[in-house]
A and B are shown apart, each in its own frame.
Chain A
Amino acid sequence: MSITDKTATRPDTGTGTDGADTNTEPAAPAPKRSFWTGRSELVVVALVLAVAIFLTVGTVTMDVAGDTVPGPKFFPTIICVMLYAVAGVLGFQILRNPARGKEAAADESGPDDTDALDPDADGATPDPKTPEPKTYTDWKTVGILVGSIVAFILLLPIAGWILSAAFLFWMVCFVLGSKRRLFDASLAILFSSAIQLAFNALLGLNLPSGFLEGVL
């Protein structure tokens, strides 16, 4: 599924989850060893394939204007071929070598490719800091965060910048574990109002004021 595709349909579905999310769910309850254990990366293959299919459909159904040679279909065709090839190889790799235990979670281990270039830098990656955190993704936190962003986008035209941005700020604080609810709320209002003021007054950019229009 391409990004454009997603956004076009999202307002209709009204949920913050999209293909990428729903596809990953089977991998979330990691304790059981299912087919998906260590193979949740297939989500990426699905994503690449979705982009490729979207491009293929778009290329085939394209209304070509003008008669330039090579035409506008030329480059997308090359990209499609590349994407199908990449999806194939990637899928094959994941099916053959599923990530094991800890490595499945090595999300942000950073590029250690440089070790390959400099054999002497082995053991150089600074990792003694991590005493084995839990591996799987915290879908609850991610879900609430994405939900808040969806709510923000829907709220923005109605409630205006100050309220919806303050809501977003507060929600992110809450979801990331802040305990000071009231203080966060005042901080959020302060932050969003400061932005509204700075932008409207100094830069002349109009942020929607929503139903507070008359009041402000």
Chain B
Amino acid sequence: MESLNLLFDGFADALTPINLLWVVVGAVLGTAVGVLPGLGSAMAVALLLPVTFSLDPTAAFIMFAGVYFGGLFGDSTSGILLNTPGNSSAIASSIEGHKLAKDGRAAKALATAAIGAFIGGLLATTVVVFFAPVLAQMATLFGPAEYFALAAFAFLAISAVVSDSMIKGLAALGIGLALSVVGVDGPSGTSRFTLGLPQLFDGISIIVITVGLLALGEVISVASRIHRDPNHSQIRPSGRPWLRPSEFKKALPAWLRGAGFGLPFGVIPAGGSEVPTFLAYGTEKKLAQRNGDTDFGTTGSIKGLAAPEAASNATAGTAMGALLALGLPTSATAAIMLAAFQQYGLQPGPLLFERGADLVWPLLASMFIGLVVLLVLNLQFAALWAKLLLIPRHYLYASITVLAMLGVYAISSSTIDLWLLLGIGLLGFVMRRYAFPVAPVLIAVILGPLAETELRRALSVSEGDLGVLVSSPFTITLYIVLAAGLIFSAVQHLRRRKAEAQQQDRELVDA
């Protein structure tokens, strides 16, 4: 029950008027960014990072907690109303959500999504409060080999298992790792790949990379399509955003099942919430078939929306736990939060709970507060948020471009960073154009230095004996799980390719 006491202290810190203000600011910003199609909380946090330099760390993180969940509350809004999910995690909830909206129940769909996000987030944050300290305790036993195993696991899981194409994921990973080795090498003091430019001695700032990949890359990619793609028509939400008790009763088990899928996935470094949201969606679909539920796939099923929405927020919540306790980011947003911690000289991981307790517990407390604020914001004002979608796209992307430049220039007032930003923006565009996943680049840039340091440390202790990497039960288990995951996904990829090839043959015959 020690956790509870610490959490109450955290609430005492977080409930000061000024910190409450930051939660609300974060929640509003996060929802706004989430609602806008193509933008997610990862980008919001990346753009806000430089702006928060003048805040004290507690205030900054409290705001980030609001942004973090806010993005998830908002991203289903555009999916439901426009059928353009704001984030890949909202794809599954858009399927039934948009059908509900077309059926004239848009307000109800938005309410179901908001309550689902709330329940998922609430359960996940509760789990984090009780288990993160235990996880952190366990992690104090980790040595260099264990940390390297965790980083390698994160690298391969995010790039090979979760990506659409294994090789594309690995290419993205390699580019990210290459970016991460630029700068002066800590242990030896050697300057690497800096071309003699002193501005690069500290490496390429993570802010430049995330803003370039996520914000500028998105803008360029929108520009490449804007005169090509058709416009989507928006459905105006009407009616009251309340659920009748009977509907609530129907949705409740779906919310809980969804959260159940989401909770474990947050801790696994497997690239965010696409997998759990689709698993949750698939389960509801199967259950609907068994129960003879005709709403599903026709007029839209509340359950089919409730489950993936709860799953995505539950994943996000426990991902925060993994980040705090292990220092291991399991999604792109978590990766940028890690960069934010490092910016303030804090290293998430086991020691954070001892040394940074005055930061961690207010942060966890403000996650709870943020969820309540977000529930109110999204239930009451869902229709208002939908108005954001009426902003002409050119103003939206013009502001994002200018803010991206501002955010990067604010780091060190150097134009070199702006050139880097443009280069990485173009990289982000090329990657989007050819459907390369961006998340492995971010994970590689953030965990790359850790992986390198721990690998070299492990090998220098063992005097070059590679056996040290697989010398403990923990590392062996991790590598076995990883190998199983790789084999499983390779089989799935092959099977799918075969099915596709067969289908093509059939099409050829038909033609």
The interface residues of chain A lying within 8 Å CB-to-CB of B12 are none
Closest partner residue, chain B, to A17 (CB atom) = B426
Q: Among residues 166 to 200 in chain A, which have CB atoms less than 8 Å away from a CB atom of chain B?
A: 168-170, 172-178, 187-188, 191-192, 195, 199
Q: In the bound complex, how far is the Cα of B398 from the Cα of A192, in angstroms?
A: 11
Which range contains the number of A residues in contact with the other chain? 35 or more
The interface-forming segment of B3-11, B41-49, B163-171, B330-338 is B163-171
The interface residues of chain A lying within 8 Å CB-to-CB of B134 are none
Q: Among residues 10 to 27 in chain B, which have CB atoms less than 8 Å away from a CB atom of chain A?
A: none
What mask results when residues 70 to 90 of chain A are scored 1 for a CB within 8 Å of chain B, else 0?
Answer: 111011100100110011011
What mask results when residues 485 to 499 of chain B are scored 1 for a CB within 8 Å of chain A, else 0?
Answer: 000010011011000
Q: Are B193 and A58 within 8 A (Cβ)?
A: yes
Q: Are B171 and A90 within 8 A (Cβ)?
A: yes
Q: In the bound complex, how far is the Cα of B490 from the Cα of A113, in angstroms?
A: 11
Q: In the bound complex, how far is the Cα of B270 from the Cα of A48, in angstroms?
A: 24
Q: Among residues 257 to 301 in chain B, which have CB atoms less than 8 Å away from a CB atom of chain A?
A: 274-275, 277-279, 281-282, 285-286
Q: Among residues 48 to 81 in chain A, which have CB atoms less than 8 Å away from a CB atom of chain B?
A: 48, 51-52, 54-55, 58, 62-72, 74-76, 79
Most chain A CB inside 10 Å of its own CB: which residue of B423, B455, B493 = B423
- For residue A106, CB closer than 8 A to chain B, the reply is yes
Minimum distance in angstroms from B442 CB to a CB of chain A: 14
The interface-forming segment of B105-113, B236-244, B412-420 is B412-420
- For residue B436, CB closer than 8 A to chain A, the reply is yes
- For residue A95, CB closer than 8 A to chain B, the reply is no
Q: Are A172 and B459 within 8 A (Cβ)?
A: no
Closest partner residue, chain A, to B289 (CB atom) = A120
Q: Among residues 82 to 115 in chain A, which have CB atoms less than 8 Å away from a CB atom of chain B?
A: 82-83, 86-87, 89-90, 93, 106-115
Interface of chain B, main secondary structure: helix
Q: Are A141 and B192 within 8 A (Cβ)?
A: no
- For residue B429, CB closer than 8 A to chain A, the reply is yes
Of the candidates B91, B225, B452, the one whose C-beta lies within 8 Å of that of A125 is B91
- For residue A3, CB closer than 8 A to chain B, the reply is yes
Interface of chain A, main secondary structure: helix
Question: Do A172 and B175 form a contact, CB below 8 Å, given A90-B168, A121-B281, A206-B413?
Answer: no
What mask results when residues 386 to 419 of chain B are scored 1 for a CB within 8 Å of chain A, else 0?
Answer: 0000001111011101100110011001011011
- For residue A11, CB closer than 8 A to chain B, the reply is yes
- For residue B205, CB closer than 8 A to chain A, the reply is no
Of the candidates B393, B402, B493, the one whose C-beta lies within 8 Å of that of A192 is B402
Q: Are A4 and B282 within 8 A (Cβ)?
A: no
Closest partner residue, chain A, to B185 (CB atom) = A72
Minimum distance in angstroms from B82 CB to a CB of chain A: 9
Q: Among residues 414 to 462 in chain B, which have CB atoms less than 8 Å away from a CB atom of chain A?
A: 415-416, 418-420, 422-427, 429-437, 451-452, 455-456, 459-460
- For residue B2, CB closer than 8 A to chain A, the reply is no
Q: Are B398 and A113 within 8 A (Cβ)?
A: no
Of the candidates B168, B175, B286, B496, the one whose C-beta lies within 8 Å of that of A51 is B175
Which range contains the number of B residues in contact with the other chain? 35 or more
Q: Are B223 and A175 within 8 A (Cβ)?
A: yes
The interface residues of chain B lying within 8 Å CB-to-CB of A187 are 395
- For residue B252, CB closer than 8 A to chain A, the reply is no
Q: In the bound complex, how far is the Cα of B38 from the Cα of A176, in angstroms?
A: 16
Closest partner residue, chain B, to A156 (CB atom) = B415
Q: Are B413 and A142 within 8 A (Cβ)?
A: no
Q: Are A120 and B285 within 8 A (Cβ)?
A: yes
- For residue B56, CB closer than 8 A to chain A, the reply is no
Q: Are A191 and B435 within 8 A (Cβ)?
A: no
Q: In the bound complex, how far is the Cα of B289 from the Cα of A173, in angstroms?
A: 48
Question: Do A68 and B422 form a contact, CB below 8 Å, given A114-B275, A142-B224, A145-B219?
Answer: no
Minimum distance in angstroms from B86 CB to a CB of chain A: 12
- For residue B232, CB closer than 8 A to chain A, the reply is yes
Minimum distance in angstroms from A78 CB to a CB of chain B: 8
Closest partner residue, chain A, to B392 (CB atom) = A178
Q: In the bound complex, how far is the Cα of B193 from the Cα of A75, in angstroms?
A: 13
Q: Are B402 and A137 within 8 A (Cβ)?
A: no
Q: Among residues 147 to 181 in chain A, which have CB atoms less than 8 Å away from a CB atom of chain B?
A: 149-150, 152-153, 156-157, 165, 168-170, 172-178
Name B residues whose Cβ lies closer than 8 Å to a Cβ of A. 51, 53-54, 83-85, 88, 91-92, 94-95, 98, 162-164, 167-168, 170-171, 173-175, 177-179, 181-182, 185, 187-195, 197, 200, 204, 216, 219-230, 232, 274-275, 277-279, 281-282, 285-286, 392-395, 397-399, 401-402, 405-406, 409-410, 413, 415-416, 418-420, 422-427, 429-437, 451-452, 455-456, 459-460, 464, 489, 492-493, 495-496
Give 12 A-B contacts (CB < 8 Å), ordered by A residue.
A6-B419, A10-B423, A66-B187, A70-B464, A86-B171, A114-B279, A116-B492, A118-B281, A130-B229, A138-B223, A145-B223, A172-B219
- Please list the 4 inter-chain residue pairs (A to B) with the smallest Cβ-Cβ separation, ordered nearest first: A114-B278, A176-B394, A66-B188, A7-B419
